[in-house]
């Protein structure tokens, strides 16, 4: 038996050596293409020829599709201006899998950074927090707030993956935080889930019903196969569930959560909200920041009610609880309520028609649309 075990061990070692030899036979340029998967950036045209994917045209088509959907439903659907979103990131051992290059967690971190910046650009009055799941325990990485840089910096320092994932612990933690949110705020959770199981201490169905009663919309983006419990969670709370096929698909899925979703009828309650418009402090002034509890020089805002100092906007005054915003933030939030009508693409042959009464100059760059220097893509960028 010992000799057989020895032969098996030696056989396994020989197989490993063979795999190393195969990988070692690849040249450096071959390994580069293998790692980058450059063949995934090609598509077949009508004649059967391969050509690179036009990412700009693809992005523009997706943008126009979103505009059409917004313009067709804006008159009938209410959306929330003030959102409180927790991003739950699965940092279990499944997040270290390398089916996404270079790994799942690297892809997640890259696109979460993009999502956070886009979220605050489209929702300047909203706030975000980050929760991580590791070793079966949920941890609050960042408290809910309106600073994208603080969330991104904290996330990039905590990307180690280990242990199992626990969906119930994450929901319990998030439910405890979002229950403190005022009734006018829209409570949302976006879960980026890599595992194919959940190791829970109790009945997760009770936790799902608790989230539903707390009016928390839960959405899940999976990086592995579809899971019933994730789909059931989204159906019960009014969220969306999707599974990413590759990195580009994952980016598209996560950015779909940047615009505010339609408000659920029973959750859409109209409220009047008291807001303060603070003045920016003088550059050379020294005062104690109410949010960080430390002395800072200049670059702050003074609450109009209690005169406390805040570092950034939008935020909630730590002393009197007044919501502090700036007028540009408030104005930019209204573009979801009154979206612009989608533009109609017009071909050059149509503009050459003498009976055409449309404007022949680009509204953005003021050049002639018939001029070859003013291509359609340039005018698309302006419009």
Q: How confident is the model at residue 331 (pLDDT cuts 50, 70, 90)?
A: confident
**pLDDT tens per residue, range 11-25:** 444 444 444 444 455
pLDDT at 72: 47
Task: For residue 63, give the nearest of 360, 351, 339 by alpha carbon.
Answer: 339
Task: For residue 143, give the nearest of 186, 182, 173, 121 by alpha carbon.
Answer: 173
* The pair of three-digit structure tokens given for residue 88, joined into one six-digit string: 């739950």
Q: How confident is the model at residue 270 (pLDDT cuts 50, 70, 90)?
A: low
pTM for this predicted structure: 0.72
Share of the chain above pLDDT 70, in %: 64
* The pair of three-digit structure tokens given for residue 136, joined into one six-digit string: 């079966």
Residues 283-302, mean pLDDT to the nearest whole number = 73
Comparing 280 with 201, the larger pLDDT belongs to 201
**pLDDT tens per residue, range 177-212:** 999 888 888 899 999 999 999 999 999 999 999 999
Task: For residue 133, give the nearest of 180, 202, 86 by alpha carbon.
Answer: 86
pLDDT at 10: 44
Q: Give the mean pLDDT of the chain.
A: 78
**pLDDT tens per residue, range 48-89:** 777 666 555 655 566 566 655 555 444 455 667 789 999 999
Looking from the CA of 128 toward its CB, the CA atoms found within 13 Å total: 28
Cα of 89 vs its chain's centroid, Å = 11
Give the phi and the psi of residue 242 in degrees, each rounded to 5: -150, 160
* End-to-end CA gap in the chain: 76
Pairing of strands 286-289, 275-276: unpaired
Instruction: Out of 64-73, 97-106, 169-178, pick the least confident.
Output: 64-73
Domains of the chain: 79-267 (3.40.50.410), 275-337 (no CATH), 341-382 (no CATH)
Comparing 234 with 363, the larger pLDDT belongs to 234
> Where does residue 366 fall: left (phi above 0), alpha (psi -120 to 50 degrees), or beta otherwise?
left
Task: For residue 141, give the nearest of 128, 154, 150, 152 by alpha carbon.
Answer: 154
Q: Among 140-149, 226-235, 271-280, name the most confident range.
A: 226-235
Instruction: Out of 4-8, 154-158, 198-202, 289-293, pick the least confident.
Output: 4-8
- Asked if the peptide bond before residue 65 counts as cis, ω within 30 degrees of 0, the response is no
**pLDDT tens per residue, range 340-381:** 666 666 666 666 666 666 666 766 666 776 665 554 444 444
Residues 136-161, mean pLDDT to the nearest whole number = 92
Comparing 323 with 370, the larger pLDDT belongs to 323
Cα of 53 vs its chain's centroid, Å = 23
Tokens 């939008």 locate to 314
Tokens 């967690």 locate to 105
Residues 286-309, mean pLDDT to the nearest whole number = 78
């Amino acid at each position: 038996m010992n000799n057989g075990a020895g032969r098996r061990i030696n056989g396994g070692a020989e197989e490993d050596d063979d795999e190393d030899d195969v990988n070692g036979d690849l040249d450096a340029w071959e390994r580069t293409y293998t790692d980058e998967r450059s063949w995934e950036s090609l598509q077949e045209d009508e004649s059967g020829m391969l050509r690179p994917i036009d990412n700009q045209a693809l992005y523009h088509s997706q943008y126009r599709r979103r505009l059409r959907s917004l313009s067709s439903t804006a008159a009938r659907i209410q959306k929330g201006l003030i959102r409180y979103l927790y991003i739950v990131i699965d940092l279990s051992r499944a997040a270290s899998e390398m089916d996404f290059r270079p790994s799942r967690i690297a892809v997640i971190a890259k696109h979460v950074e993009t999502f956070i910046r886009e979220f605050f650009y489209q929702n300047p009055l909203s706030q975000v927090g980050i929760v991580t799941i590791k070793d079966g325990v949920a941890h609050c990485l960042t408290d809910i707030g309106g600073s994208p840089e603080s969330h991104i910096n904290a996330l990039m320092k905590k990307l180690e993956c280990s242990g199992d994932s626990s969906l119930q612990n994450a929901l319990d933690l998030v439910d405890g935080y979002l229950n403190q949110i005022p009734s006018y705020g829209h409570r949302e959770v976006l879960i980026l889930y890599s595992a194919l199981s959940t190791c829970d201490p109790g009945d997760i169905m009770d936790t799902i019903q608790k989230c539903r009663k707390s009016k928390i919309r839960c959405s899940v983006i999976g990086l592995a196969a579809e899971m019933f419990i994730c789909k059931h969670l989204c159906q019960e709370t009014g969220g969306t569930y999707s599974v990413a096929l590759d990195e580009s698909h994952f980016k598209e899925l996560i950015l779909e959560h940047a615009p505010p979703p339609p408000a659920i009828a029973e959750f859409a309650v109209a409220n009047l909200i008291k807001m303060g418009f603070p003045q920016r402090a003088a550059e050379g002034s020294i005062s104690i920041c109410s949010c960080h509890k430390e002395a800072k020089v200049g670059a702050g805002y003074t609450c109009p009610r209690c005169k406390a100092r805040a570092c950034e906007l939008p935020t909630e005054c730590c002393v009197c609880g007044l919501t502090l915003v700036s007028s540009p933030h408030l104005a930019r939030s209204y573009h979801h309520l009154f979206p612009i009508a989608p533009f109609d693409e017009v071909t050059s042959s149509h503009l050459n028609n003498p009976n055409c009464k449309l404007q022949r100059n680009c509204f953005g760059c003021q050049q002639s649309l018939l001029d070859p220097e003013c291509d359609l893509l340039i005018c698309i960028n302006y419009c």
